[in-house]
Chain A
Amino acid sequence: MTTLLEQEKIQQQFKERMNEDELLNCMRCGFCLPTCPTYIESGYKESHSPRGRIAMMKAVVDGIVEPDEDFERSLELCLGCRACEPVCPSGVNYGHLLEEARDIINQNKKHSLPVRAVRKTVFEGLFPHQNRMRTMVGLLGFYQRSGIQTLARKTGYLGLLPKNLATMEKVLPKVPTMKEMKNRPEHLPAIAEKVHKVAFFSGCLMDTMFLKTNDATMKLLQLAGCEIVIPKQQTCCGALHGHSGEKDVAKELAKKNIAAFEDLGADFIITNAGGCGAFLVDYDHLLKDDPIWSERALAFKEKIKDISEILVAVSFHKKVKLELPAQVITYQDSCHLRNVMKTASAPRTLLDSIKGVQYKEMKEADRCCGSAGIYNIVESEMSMVMLDYKMVQAKATHATTIVTANPGCLLQMQLGIEREGLSSKMRAVHIVDLLAEAVK
């Protein structure tokens, strides 16, 4: 519930902080409508479309409507997939508008005590601290290995969780041990003839829960002729914060990362998670009000490259023999990798070059799977509608392997497979894991 007083404060901040030029830049042509998953799934409700949401933000600024609960609800239901941006002929930066609006609402709204506690723990206490991330994931590992998991599953204790969370528990990867997580290298040589020096952005979740994927990424980079530095001072990218109305924390994280990477003499900064990469390339916008930092952010952003882009750029797929047992594979775009980092063809090029496999494009591979950060937990109902649609398209390709390029998407696709009861026939993998598997 937002009180009237809160609404007034929110409205005032909208007037002060929302970028009026950007709002006016939307000329309401509606080209975004057919690409918006929530517009389609809500039964073509304009209030759940990008054009509608921008019109609402502008109306709040103009004082035509108050930021009431319907308004908040519409912004909450947005996945933030940003599929509306590449199709916008006017070039409206919808993502920036959404982030600012969410930040204003969140900063001026008193959350209930439990929500406040959870937000504080997660956003400030956990993600910015890699050691705590390790402990957290370590506990998960203890849960998985100690037999508690088996016990919990057998006793039906998990039945107490909402159904989706219970299913989600099943699809979490087997996590590495604390020791494995702590012993991370800081420097790795190129294995093939050296063509680039790169820095690796390891990510908070990727370097704990998905550690094996990070290992595979570095192996591929080495084989591709890259010398790798992995600065220890790096931290969480801040995407989760930025998308949830915690911009100030996100800014602090951004500064730490910029500082960690700027004097390494690396040609590129490589990421293997579309969600992180897209936030990193937006650092200059995040820090736009700070002239010194925004300039440093610009230099930082120009070096960001997704792993698949660099592999294609150095012709990895032509130099290294890639082969797998016969199977049909398909690819689910990471929305932020595609819509923000503009990486769409590189992963497909790589997959297409694996000998033995048949690559089949899924219909609407560019439509969000419903993972969207923590969306699948907080907006579970809509998320599952998206996922069910996605699984229909995935099944239609007869693929046994669904490839993704972001940890959230990967978990969501695994959840989809589990929900469909297909876990014996189908798997979801991160693209680097599949490529590492295919290296002969």
Chain B
Amino acid sequence: MSKDNQLSQWEVFMQTKNGGPFEHQGSLHAADKKMALQNARDLYSRRKEGRSIWVVPTECIVASTKEMEEEFFDPANDKIYRTPNFYKMPQGTKNL
């Protein structure tokens, strides 16, 4: 008998409302794209959760690590001038 194969792993992203973001739901196994899409529907939308689905082979996901966290994300901490509240508007200014 040939060696067991459980097919390849895929990641599932689903849009729950029209116009909304595609959010990660989890993963599944499938042999091909069509199968992955259908399995995603059967697995992650059993309760009408979905409107649209993306599936991506897991091996295509590139993830940052904990070690990268500081150098990647901390430099943004002191750039508060990117947020609207940083700016003082003259009293009585409207529509801004």
Interaction A to B: no
Q: Which residues of B contact A (CB under 8 A)?
A: none
